Structure 1
Amino acid sequence: MVGLIDVVQTLTAPHPLDRYLELVRPTFTLRDLRAEITAVHRSVPGSVTLALRPTRQWRGHLAGQFVQLGVVINGVKHTRCYSPVNSQARSGRHIELTVKAHPNGLVSRYLYHHATPGMVVDLAPAAGVFHLPDPRPDRVLLISGGSGITPVLSMLRTLADENHAGEVVFLHYARSPQVVPHRGELDALARRHANFRIALRYTQHAVEQRAASGPAAPWTCAATVAGVSRFGYDELQRVAPWFADAQTYLCGPPPLMAEVRAVYEAEQLDDRLHTEEFTVTAAPTDSADAEGAVTFSGSGVTAENTGATLLEQAESAGLTPAYGCRMGICLSCTAVRHSGCTRNIRTGGLDSDPDQSIQLCINAPVGDVDVAI
């Protein structure tokens, strides 16, 4: 069958067969993985939850992994990475994504404003090393902040579907209760599972007055005064006194990530902390690095080195290299550096070996560099 498809692909050149099949039906593909949006919910301010039905090529995901979603905006396809929030036990022909519309997020804002049932998007197989291990740890601590809730929510739902018998704590930081997606479900999960504890922390806004509804439910733990619930060792002792014996999974904004790492490093528990980042934390730079020129030899373009990442400099030069996450996770922007030295903006490490594959989004040129794009 594969050989026959290859023959047909040759006959339909220069376009792949799927380009013709999509004219009949966008989800009718032989090789390309796509998904149809079947439901859209905007129940949380600034976020949209999408239910998707992928094509037959979908093989599911592990709780915590991400997918690349591609949408066409004004005739140009843009790809971004999002973590499914549904349980991996329910990831057959079903994906659920919760996307926060970031102020400068082209794709996230497009989905928030324009996603509708029936829309077809491009999809890539689930990837990433941030996921629950098998067998499951006896004790699991999940920590998230803001939009970092998505991968750890998938983990929490998976453990619930598996009736995990060990201790589980989910500690989430948000500005206010209103912006926490799936908040009602979090309470319901804790009601059904006596070994689960949900701890919600609100960092910028006062929590709603609870006088009318009576005392807080025993399965929840929420701060009642704005700005008091910062992460620290004492917080860990309150919500998960057994954290030193647990496996911890962390995803959130850089300040929260740094605070958690500091505690785990001080306790010498680095090997028990597993992290996923949605933003790039750049290492300190040296202004002297911004010298020389960047040659994009595949396009015949040369530009003065500004010190920005190679992806940003390529875009400033009018080029459109492929990219996905823009933070060094998805590998979509990998290209060959023919010559010159580059600095990894995440680690600060320098590399000058010729003809090496590098990720454009997390590497900046140090002096003259030639990249094959």
Structure 2
Amino acid sequence: MPAFALPFWFPRLRPPALPGRVLAGLGWLTTPLSPDDYLGLVDPLLSARHPAGVVTAVRPETADASTLVIRPGRGWAGYRSGQYVPVGAELDGAWHWRTYSLTSVPDAPGGDVTITIKADPRGKVSPYLVHRAPPGTVLRLGPAQGEFVLPDPPPARMLFVTAGSGITPVMGMLRTLAGRSGPAPDVVLLHSAPRPDACLFRAELAGLAARVPWLRLHLRYTRTAGRLTVGDIGALCPDRRAREIWACGPAGLLDVVREHLAWRNVAQERLHVESFRPAAPPAPAVGESGGRVRFGRSGVAAESPASVSLLETGESAGVPMPYGCRRGICFGCLVPLVDGRVRDLRTGGVHGEPGELIQTCVNGATGPLVLDV
């Protein structure tokens, strides 16, 4: 049981709207805290500074995956189909953050959102959320992120290539397309799963393909049919050159998609990728020397070269760093930044604000900084 769980009947209530000027006017009474801080103590769903949501239902999808229905509180800012959301769960008195794709339709009636999670047997957070988080559990919600999204309006022809839990952001897009008025685009979905009983959304996908004329569905079970190949893409979608392509899944699948595009001379700008593996980092800028990283809760400090990820630095210093990339689970390495700035090892861009969730596998130090881990 989490440290804070609302009564089961509470999720049916909606947090009241509170005008910003009313809260601002009360600020002088609550200094040094803000009125929002006190609202969050009374009810986490009333906080705008630390958005939260309450689990209203847990729906099993497979033996090791579930969909959580979440009712966001006052601070939730919305999302686009295909984006992911950082989720904080309180376990053993500490907040643990992971990131999951949103599988619901934005701005749906009632305002609930859904995330679909596959439990990692070696993990801590995902097994709890999949198997042991009851309705009434309060979760923290970060801002929705990601550019792997459904355009508005969508292109006339679309190809989705997914594997495993890579179907989750695409499921949100398909549900959004199914709820749109007017003509839908022509969509082909090539999805791979180990076995039928391990295929997320199998019944819903089959039902949708049978119900609407615009979706062509090809399910591949790798334990019997083997993994998707370059030739399979061409055979299953002969007009793929005319389509915009979205691919999401493990590195092996994305390599096949990229190889196919190069082989068929398909324009790279037609490809949208959500990867489970970070790209190779660029060389650090001349004169960049990294910085000293302090791991606040662990009480450890270490020098971190500019070209080394914060994840590697922490592990080398003996800090128990969260991670997921090596198991095909992206964004398992998120930790809050307390102070300082970081450098994105993929792009070279410098960023960081207090409280920002830092993906430690693809960010390095650029000067002294403190991480809450």
Pick aligned residue for 1:272 from 258, 265, 270: 270
In structure 2, the partner of 1:186 is: 205
CA deviation vs aligned residue, 1:90-123 (integer Å, no higher than 9, x gap): 2751111110112333221221232111111111
**What is the aligned partner in structure 2 of residue 99 from structure 1?**
117
CA distance in 2, matches of 1:129, 1:238: 29
Equivalent residue for 1:12, pick from 27, 30, 43: 30
State whether residues 23 and 36 of structure 2, in contact with CA within 8 Å, keep that contact through their aligned partners in structure 1. no
Q: Which is worse superposed, 127-136 or 23-32?
A: 23-32
Q: How does 1:54-65 map to 2 (within 5 A)?
A: 54-65=72-83
2:363 counterpart residue number:
363
Look up the SS of the partner of 1:88 in the other structure.
coil
Task: Assess if the C-alpha contact under 8 Å between 2:323 and 2:331 holds in 1.
Answer: no
1:307-339 deviation line (CA, Å, top 9, x unaligned):
85214424765879999997599896596459x
1:139 — aligned with what?
A: 157
1:177 counterpart = 2:196: yes
Whether the 8 Å contact between 1:54 and 1:94 is mirrored in structure 2 is: yes
Identity %: 36
Q: In the aligned structure 2, how far is the partner of 1:322 from the partner of 1:371?
A: 21
Q: Which residue of 1 aligns with 2:241?
A: 244
CA distance in 1, matches of 2:49, 2:320: 24
Q: Is the 8 A contact 2:57 2:68 kept in 1?
A: yes
Which residue in the other structure is 2:254 paired with?
Answer: 257
| Partner residue in 2 for 1:79 | 97
| 2:87 is the alignment partner of 1:69 | yes
Deviations 1:173-220 (A, max 9, x none): 11111111221111110111122111111112x3xxxxxxxxxxxxxx
State how many pairs are aligned: 332
The residue correspondences of 1:147-296 to structure 2 (distance < 5 A) are: 147-162=165-180, 164-204=183-223, 206=224, 226-227=225-226, 229-232=227-230, 234-266=231-263, 267-282=265-280, 295-296=292-293
Query: CA–CA distance in 2 between the matches of 1:53 and 1:337?
Result: 33
- 1:29 maps to 47
1:284 CA drift (Å): 11
**C-alpha distance in structure 1 between counterparts of 2:233 and 2:119, whole Å:** 30
Change in CA separation of 1:24 and 1:363 when aligned onto 2, cut-off 3 Å? closer
| More displaced stretch, 26-35 vs 309-318 | 309-318
Matched, 1:44 2:62: yes
Q: Is the 8 A contact 2:97 2:332 kept in 1?
A: no
Say what the alpha-carbon RMSD is for the aligned residues.
3.7
Measure, in 2, the Cα distance between the counterparts of 1:230 and 1:36.
39
Taking structure 1 as reference, are residues 256 and 52 closer, same or farther at Cα in structure 2, changes over 3 Å only? same
Shift of residue 162 of structure 1?
1.4
Shift of 1:144: 0.9
For the structure 1 residues 16 and 277, does the alpha-carbon distance in structure 2 shift closer, same or farther, using more than 3 Å as the test?
Answer: farther
Does structure 1 retain, via aligned residues, the 8 Å contact 2:291–2:369? no
Do 1:41 and 1:49's aligned partners in 2 also have CA atoms closer than 8 Å?
Answer: yes
Shift of 1:48: 1.3
What is the DSSP-based 3-state SS (H/G/I as helix, E as strand, rest coil) of the residue aligned with 2:174? helix
- Asked if the contact 2:164/2:200 (under 8 Å) is kept, the reply is no
Q: In structure 2, what is the Cα distance between the partners aligned to 1:116 and 1:9?
A: 36
AA aligned opposite 2:256 = E
Which structure 1 segments of 5+ residues have no match? 207-225, 286-291
Deviation at 1:261, TM superposition (A): 1.2
Q: What is the CA-CA distance between 1:156 and the residue it aligns to?
A: 1.1
Deviations 1:271-306 (A, max 9, x none): 111011234355699xxxxxx995237979643659
Residue 155 of structure 1: CA displacement?
0.9
2:229 touches 2:256 (CA, 8 Å); kept in 1?
A: yes
Task: Identify unmatched segments of 5+ residues in structure 2.
Answer: 1-18, 284-288, 353-357
State the alpha-carbon separation in 1 of the partners of residues 169 and 300 from structure 2: 39
SS at match of 2:45: coil
Partners of 1:86 and 1:157 within 8 A in 2? yes
TM-score by length of 2: 0.76
